[in-house]
Copies of this chain bind each other. A is one copy, B any other.
Amino acid sequence: MDYSQIEQNQLINLLKEERKVFKRLQKADMSVDMTRGRPEATQLDIAMPMLSNAGNYDYRADGIDNRNYGGLQGIKPARELFAELFDCKTDEVIVADGSSLDLMYTVMQFAMQFGVLESTPWNQLKKVKFICLTPGYDRHFAICEHFGIEMIGVRLREDGPDMDIIENLVRDDESIKGIWCVPKYSNPSGVTYSDRAVERLATMKTAAKDFRIFWDNAYLVHDLYEEGDKLKNIFDVARKAGTLDRIYAFTSTSKITFAGSGLAVFASSVDNINAITKELFFKTIGPNKINQVMHVNFLKNADNIKELMKLHAEILRPKFELFEEKMSAEFEGDPFIHWSKPKGGYFISLDVKNCAKRIVALAGEAGVKLTPAGSSFPYKLDDLDENIRIAPSVPTLEEMTHAVDVIISAVKQARMERVLLKIHNIKDID
């Protein structure tokens, strides 16, 4: 609704009415956490057979005692499984412990301290820059900020990164060493990159020879619907273009089995795999291969993983749809309010210009915890104060109903307050 077209007193009354609605919502005294993309308990139950069968798996298959040290790159069946999932080759895969965040941090640290392949260690350069697509994943940006890497924000469009801008940036600036990408069901916007964007990323000319695409394919099998988004295989494109060294791909089973207790996966060119393995030698004697045996036996193959992901989708989908239904009923066609309608992943992105901080604050007053406004931007700076990341996975449907009512009311209030301030110069109506 265009509140600027409403007469001042009427708008004040509207806001007062909305505040009454909000008070009633507050009285529900519910506490809903929508800050992080955590699986909910019933999703985690899906993988419990992996634990109850742990005693029956063969930890000494193929003459290798996986209960003992060794195997820096992970066990072969795990590497094969994720090669199948990534649609790349087995020797292009390392399977490691825990979270992909750990792997991303680790390869970044290797690059900073020791360089990539034969390059100068990034620590020794005057300036290192990364392209950060916005809105994006706060943990990626946190790694950059922590290592002192300058972040260049580039808008993520509906079909992926704004490639014209990116190609221009990386063509001439040798200090731009990489880009963070969540290419499928991007965090938080849900965008999946177009084929053309994938192709351009893999083939663009970069001034930096040691340029790396941090391809965080966190949601590669995390479809909400039978017909999920299709992401072009970047390995195929890069292999053909001779740029496979540029690809640092990641994923994990955090949202397939257990969050943080799964397997983390790295895929890249064989040269990179060998170089990273050499680095890993100094860091570890090998990953948790017991956990890898458990996962391989439980997950079996890509088809079976897809079946498991359908069970996850059945739990997640109603929450996404509830948000969509309630928001559409309220704001359909409203040019001031945009939200994403992802076909997978863990997030919904809500855009309300100049109102994000206020909406998050208001929601908090009604017990609905949202990720702090700005989190999805480098240095936590959302110039438009627009974007809110909604993580609908943790709340129950009942909690979600409440939470979306709260968000709707917060959106309305924030927008009315903004119009009152900017057009009528009224700071507060109380």
- A-side interface residues toward B, CB under 8 Å? 36, 38-39, 41, 44, 47-48, 51-57, 59-60, 65-70, 97-99, 101-102, 105-106, 109, 112-114, 123, 139, 142-143, 146-147, 254, 258-261, 281-291
Q: Are B39 and A68 in contact, CB atoms less than 8 angstroms apart? A: yes
The CA-CA distance from A139 to B112 in the complex, in Å, is 22
- The listed residue (B38, B99, B289) touching A261 by CB distance below 8 A is B289
- The listed residue (B54, B69, B123) touching A36 by CB distance below 8 A is B69
- Chain B residues contacting A114 (CB-CB under 8 Å) are 146
The CA-CA distance from A235 to B181 in the complex, in Å, is 45
- Chain B residues contacting A67 (CB-CB under 8 Å) are 41, 44, 47, 258-259, 261
If A39-B68, A44-B68, A52-B56 are given as contacts, then 15 extra A-B residue pairs at C-beta distance below 8 Å, sorted by A number, are: A38-B69, A44-B65, A44-B67, A47-B67, A51-B290, A54-B54, A54-B55, A55-B55, A67-B261, A98-B288, A102-B283, A105-B282, A139-B285, A143-B282, A261-B288
Q: Are A52 and B55 in contact, CB atoms less than 8 angstroms apart? A: yes
Q: Are A98 and B97 in contact, CB atoms less than 8 angstroms apart? A: yes
The CA-CA distance from A256 to B288 in the complex, in Å, is 15
Given known pairs A54-B54, A68-B39, A69-B38, the reply for A261 and B284 (CB within 8 Å) is no
- Chain B residues contacting A254 (CB-CB under 8 Å) are 69
Within the complex, what minimum Cβ distance (angstroms) separates A54 from chain B?
4
Q: Are A41 and B65 in contact, CB atoms less than 8 angstroms apart? A: yes
The CA-CA distance from A57 to B67 in the complex, in Å, is 20
Within the complex, what minimum Cβ distance (angstroms) separates A138 from chain B?
11
Can you spell out 12 A-B residue pairs with CB atoms less than 8 angstroms apart?
A41-B60, A44-B65, A48-B55, A53-B55, A54-B55, A68-B259, A69-B259, A99-B285, A102-B284, A112-B113, A259-B285, A260-B287
The CA-CA distance from A54 to B68 in the complex, in Å, is 19
Please give the count of copies of this chain that the complex contains.
Answer: 2
The CA-CA distance from A264 to B242 in the complex, in Å, is 40
- The listed residue (B38, B47, B55, B98) touching A51 by CB distance below 8 A is B55
Most B-side CB within 10 Å, residue of A52, A102, A112: A102
The CA-CA distance from A143 to B284 in the complex, in Å, is 11
The CA-CA distance from A259 to B106 in the complex, in Å, is 22
- Chain B residues contacting A36 (CB-CB under 8 Å) are 69
Given known pairs A53-B55, A113-B113, the reply for A284 and B105 (CB within 8 Å) is yes
- Chain B residues contacting A287 (CB-CB under 8 Å) are 98, 260
- Chain B residues contacting A290 (CB-CB under 8 Å) are 51, 258, 261
- Chain B residues contacting A101 (CB-CB under 8 Å) are 283-285
Within the complex, what minimum Cβ distance (angstroms) separates A196 from chain B?
33
The CA-CA distance from A234 to B254 in the complex, in Å, is 38
- Chain B residues contacting A47 (CB-CB under 8 Å) are 67
Within the complex, what minimum Cβ distance (angstroms) separates A73 from chain B?
13
- Chain B residues contacting A60 (CB-CB under 8 Å) are 41
The CA-CA distance from A66 to B57 in the complex, in Å, is 22
The CA-CA distance from A281 to B97 in the complex, in Å, is 16
Within the complex, what minimum Cβ distance (angstroms) separates A50 from chain B?
8
- Chain B residues contacting A99 (CB-CB under 8 Å) are 284-286
* Minimum CB distance partner of A263 in chain B: B288
- Chain B residues contacting A59 (CB-CB under 8 Å) are 51
Most B-side CB within 10 Å, residue of A44, A113, A288: A288
The CA-CA distance from A282 to B112 in the complex, in Å, is 15
Within the complex, what minimum Cβ distance (angstroms) separates A232 from chain B?
29
- Chain B residues contacting A54 (CB-CB under 8 Å) are 51-52, 54-55
- Chain B residues contacting A284 (CB-CB under 8 Å) are 98-99, 101-102, 105, 260
Within the complex, what minimum Cβ distance (angstroms) separates A222 from chain B?
16
- Chain B residues contacting A69 (CB-CB under 8 Å) are 36, 38, 254, 259-260
The CA-CA distance from A98 to B101 in the complex, in Å, is 16
A-B pairs with the 5 shortest C-beta distances? A52-B55, A54-B54, A261-B290, A44-B67, A261-B288
Within the complex, what minimum Cβ distance (angstroms) separates A126 from chain B?
14
The CA-CA distance from A68 to B290 in the complex, in Å, is 19
The CA-CA distance from A142 to B278 in the complex, in Å, is 12
The CA-CA distance from A285 to B52 in the complex, in Å, is 25
